[in-house]
Amino acid sequence: MSDAFVSLTDLTLSYGQTVAVPNLNLDIVEGELIALLGPSGCGKTTTMRAIAGLMPPAQGRIVIDGADVTRVPANKRGIGLVFQSYALFPHLSAFENVAFGLRLQKLPQAQIRAKTEAGMATVGLTGFEARKPGEMSGGQQQRLALARSLVMQPKVLLLDEPLSNLDARLRLEMRNELQRVQKETGITMVFVTHDQSEALALADRIVLMKDGKIEQLGTPAELYARPDTAFAADFMGFENIFRVEGDALVSDSGRLPLGYQASAQILAWRPGGVGVGAGPHRGRVIASSFAGGHREYVLDSALGQIKADAPIDVPEVPIGQDVAFDLPQDTARPLAA
């Protein structure tokens, strides 16, 4: 795209003779928060390392803010990094951790203090200046690592699985904090994660990767509602994916009559799109769990396992009992083979 701030062109990344990312093309807009999403080994962290200058490409170009940085050293690219491990200095105070990079630039003392205090205020750590990292919670340490990168005013901020070490509640708080900081500062962020809920909650666009390639790129709403492939559908929560042959669904376990004609080669349903308690099909409940506003079932059927969610006001079906279920056409996502 013409307004790309970061542009990866025909980028190939290798570990020895093993190609991890083949011929990747990606444009990132200035001020955008983009998520590189996918399972372990899909190439997302390798791509981030290349943008950072920590991994030289086998071929291709990396352009940031109009400058070709493909062969520019990492410390000359204007890139900020926030790691999964935080990489804080345990012997330094929070203030000195944030000020560290500024001191290396030999800025005047007054400017260092002003920038450090402003950076800590941005992430809500005013009053924590004297604490050591070991005296701070995981969430506070993550904010500290974020402040340390932000005060350097990087052109692009790269975050590698930054929330994975936090518990569920802190992870949610830090999601909100990252989103607030990104919108307030307008900084371009590239966020690497294997957690689709994080990508959906944070990103302006998601790059879903598989085997070093872009499987699908789009807004969170587009990927969530309209995955294009079986891989994308499965990653976005369509846990029931079956081939279509004529008027039947087919799996390695068997066949099930659809009851309607489908034009797609593959159909997928979210558990919430499966009807429980009524329908033309039968399945035996082999697992059941309470999930707050709904109950989650696993049904053993002619197609194999079917995952289904039922509203909590629907009477519970005991494990081991048969139940009717439906795979409605209006909740199915058609997919290409």
Domain ranges of the chain: 4-227, 238-335
Q: Residue 2: what pLDDT?
A: 53
Tell how far CA 3 is from the center of its chain: 24
Q: Residue 138: what pLDDT?
A: 83
The DSSP bridge partners found for residue 64 are 6, 67
Q: Could you identify the residue written with the tokens 């899909």?
A: 42
Q: Residue 73: what pLDDT?
A: 94
What is the chain's length?
337
Tell how far CA 11 is from the center of its chain: 21
255-257-261-264 Cα dihedral, nearest 10 degrees: -30
Output DSSP code: residue 228.
-
Q: How many CB atoms within 10 Å of residue 120?
A: 25
Q: Residue 273: what pLDDT?
A: 96
C-alpha distances (whole Å) from 305 to each of 239, 314, 334 are 10, 21, 20
DSSP letters, 104-115, are HTT--HHHHHHH
> Is residue 33 within 8 Å of 23, Cβ to Cβ?
no
DSSP letters, 295-336, are EEEEEEETTEEEEEEEETTSPPPPTT-EEEEE--GGG-EEE-
Q: Residue 247: what pLDDT?
A: 87
Q: How far apart are CA 114 and CA 310, in angstroms?
A: 55
Q: How far apart are CA 44 and CA 277, in angstroms?
A: 42
Give the CATH number of domain 238-335. 2.40.50.140
End-to-end CA gap in the chain: 29
Angle 165-142-220 (CA atoms, 0-180°, nearest 5)?
A: 75
The DSSP bridge partners found for residue 33 are 189
Q: One digit per residue, pLDDT tens: the chain, 337 residues?
A: 457 999 999 999 999 999 999 999 999 999 999 999 999 999 999 999 999 999 999 999 999 999 999 999 998 999 998 887 778 899 999 999 999 999 998 999 999 999 999 989 988 889 999 999 999 988 888 889 888 988 998 999 999 887 777 777 777 877 888 888 888 889 999 999 999 999 999 999 999 999 999 999 999 999 999 999 999 999 999 999 999 998 899 999 999 998 888 888 999 999 999 999 999 999 999 999 999 989 999 999 999 999 999 999 888 999 999 999 999 999 999 998 7
> How would you classify the pairing of strands 18-29 and 4-15?
antiparallel
For residue 4, the SS3 value is: strand
4-227 domain in CATH 3.30.2420.10?
A: no
Q: Residue 1: what pLDDT?
A: 46
